[in-house]
Amino acid sequence: MIVRGTTRIFGIFGDPVAHSLSPLMQNEALSRAGIDGIYVPFHVAPAVLEQAVASLRALDIAGVNVTIPHKEAVCQYLDFVDPEAQLIGAVNTIVNRDGVLCGYNTDGKGLLRSLAEDLEFTPRGKRVLLLGAGGACRAALVALARGGAAWIGIANRTPARAAALAEEFRTSLGGTPLASFSLAAEDLCALAEIDLLVNTSALGLKGESFPELPWSSFNPGARVYDMVYTRSGTPLLHAARDRGNSAADGLGMLAGQGEESFALWTGTPPPSGVMKGRLLAEFTER
């Protein structure tokens, strides 16, 4: 990679950020697309987030991704926040348009891309159950509802959080019926009728399982999507595949949201499959 005075700078703000796989896939895509650009990680502590955002103008940085823990807090420092990102309450992509900082959320679109590519699943007319009630759940909820899901349930260890989330979105996503559940086996009666189960929580990242899930009542034709990705596969994926259900992890979503960000920054989509291919190669090499 040759860096010139004309090279456009992209990056990612996070704390921590050293583990991020985004530089690998974004730099691969920039190179393959023939774009004079470089993507770098920026370790940004919460206390200096406002200054970091202001630096995008000062240093003429073309755009950045935003990851944990800044996705919600960053909204207040931007000049414009896309309506969908406003609804989700979080931004994961900032575009610097001649000093005007515009925020977007590409997580939901990344999820839909991955569901289509990895599980041949489209949400229109389907019933979906989401595990977790945090920021990732919000992005998934909006994307799936706007994609035409017939019903969405939210299950969480703290039922009140799931109920509050369903209530919050019931009006804005009025076309899709919403329901809330605890993770207790006796409450997850919806598993018998769903078409898709999505883990939006971080559970599984360290090998944790979902012992409460009543797999015996699970729809045998349903697909399972785990936003968590590990080199060996998560317990949820293993459990689903052992029972014959189609399942995929969040690597495709990571690539999908990155492709959407790339298009916002450059005005053109990245070469097809390049980002996911680079991620898969990284997992294979180690």
Q: Catalogue the active-site residues.
A: 71
Q: How many CB atoms lie within 10 A of CB 26?
A: 28
249, amino acid identity: D
Q: How far apart are CA 63 and CA 11, in angstroms?
A: 7
Q: Strand pairing of 8-14 and 63-66? A: parallel
Provide CB contacts within 8 A for 122, sequence distance 6+. Answer: 112, 115, 116, 147, 148
DSSP character string of 15-38 = SS-TT-SHHHHHHHHHHHTT--EE
Pick from 132, 250, 259, 152: nearest CA to 196: 152
Q: Which two tokens stand for residue 195?
A: 């078409």
Q: How many CB atoms lie within 10 A of CB 243?
A: 14
Beta strands in 30-147 (DSSP E): 37-43, 63-66, 80-81, 93-97, 100-104, 127-131
Helix (H) or strand (E) holding 111: helix 107-119
- Is 251:21 a contact under the CB 8 Å cutoff? no
